[in-house]
Amino acid sequence: MSELVPYLQAAQLPLRPDDLVAAGIGRLAVNLTDYRRQPGFDQVAARGGLKRVLNWDGDLISFAGDFGELTRVKKNLATVGVHYQDPQTAAKLTLTADQAAEWQVAVGDCRPVALFAPAAYYAPVDDLKRAQEANASWARALPAGGLYPVIGGGLRALREASIAAVPAGCDYLIANLPPEEEFAEWQRVVDLTLELLPQGAKVAIVARNPAELRHAASRQIDWLISAWPIKAGLAGKALVKGEVVNLRHQEAADDFAPLQADCPCPACAGYQRATLHQLLHERVPLGGELLALHNLTQLARRLAEEAC
């Protein structure tokens, strides 16, 4: 059975923890670079860890960063670490595996993802190989239960080599996947990686849209990490019986039906489509928050049933 794990896109929790729990969510994923400057890891540690900061009692999966893919893979990647830009100040920064491990200790009770930055999916084989080796070296100190990113582009041999380097007792994150528009190739390489993984360990994946979520659920991947349900909801989009409905569109203005009659979420239980449209139109944050809760409720249920 697959579990939906919302991936937060900012340091703040955009929804109330109680509402998330009611929607069926027991685990969140966070990007630690969001907390580097504000409040800073000393503060996070002083306040008793990231769960306290977020007021979240469920589990947390912590990514050291969300660095995307490398367009060039330098020979000294393993020792130098990952270069990235602070999204607010545009300052150029570097994160090494040792620093990432320090961040993970400071945030306390989280399931860490090893620092990773693969080569671009279609990069030359030499780059893919060099990145795979550097990423494996960063994961060496990953504690048991941490998520080890399996990378290697579309190449079976590199994904095998990536899996062979996993530290003892770690679980897996299927990573380094093709661009979103290449869904057939995405499915192929996800299925290939699943075939190579040993039995028994937990498996996670980051899914960017409902189609990827559905495929991952059909393959019984344990943790489906996705920013989509909250991001789409805040943008006015709701998943209704497998279709994405945009409540900002004018046709919702005169629609006095609930979003989805059989849904127990607060959006469907308490509001008509026309009211949701108006809230969005008037930029009342509640509108997007309600749709985010609807998306989470529907996806959490349907992915668990493997039938969305």
Nearest CB to Zn ion, comparing residues 22 and 165:
22
Determine the Cα–Cα distance for residues 126 and 105; give it in Å rounded to an integer: 33
Instruction: Tell me if 34 sits within 8 A of 10, measured CB to CB.
Output: yes
CB neighbourhood size of 149 (10 A): 26
What is the nearest approach in angstroms of Zn ion to the Cβ of residue 247?
12
Longest Cα–Cα distance of the chain, Å, equals 61
Q: Which of 64, 101, 234, 268 binds Zn ion (CB under 5 A)?
A: 268
The reply to whether 263 sits near Zn ion by the rule CB under 5 A is yes
Instruction: State the number of binding residues for Zn ion (CB under 5 A).
Output: 5
Instruction: Tell me if 259 sits within 8 A of 294, measured CB to CB.
Output: yes
Nearest CB to Zn ion, comparing residues 203 and 267:
267
The reply to whether 115 sits near Zn ion by the rule CB under 5 A is no
The reply to whether 61 sits near Zn ion by the rule CB under 5 A is no
Stretch that binds Zn ion, among 92-100, 102-110, 227-235, 267-275 (CB under 5 A): 267-275
Cβ neighbours of residue 304 under 8 Å, at least 6 residues apart? 1, 2, 3, 4, 24
Nearest CB to Zn ion, comparing residues 130 and 294:
294
Instruction: Tell me if 243 sits within 8 A of 21, measured CB to CB.
Output: no
Q: Please report, as residue ranges, which positions from 187 to 226 form the binding site for Zn ion (by CB under 5 A).
A: none
Q: Is 148 helix (H, G, I), strand (E, B) or coil?
A: strand
Q: Which of 265, 276, 280, 308 binds Zn ion (CB under 5 A)?
A: 265
What is the nearest approach in angstroms of Zn ion to the Cβ of residue 187?
28
What is the nearest approach in angstroms of Zn ion to the Cβ of residue 299?
11
Nearest CB to Zn ion, comparing residues 216 and 267:
267
Nearest CB to Zn ion, comparing residues 144 and 261:
261
Instruction: Tell me if 118 sits within 8 A of 135, measured CB to CB.
Output: yes
The reply to whether 294 sits near Zn ion by the rule CB under 5 A is yes
Stretch that binds Zn ion, among 5-13, 57-65, 175-183, 264-272 (CB under 5 A): 264-272
CA distances in angstroms from 134 to 75, 115, 151, 293, listed in the order given: 9, 10, 11, 39
Nearest CB to Zn ion, comparing residues 157 and 286:
286
Question: Would strands 3-6 and 223-226 be described as parallel, antiparallel, or unpaired?
Answer: parallel
Per DSSP, what are the bridge partners of residue 4?
224
Residue at token pair 């570097």? 94
What is the nearest approach in angstroms of Zn ion to the Cβ of residue 25?
14
Using CB under 5 A, list all residues that contact Zn ion: 263, 265, 267-268, 294
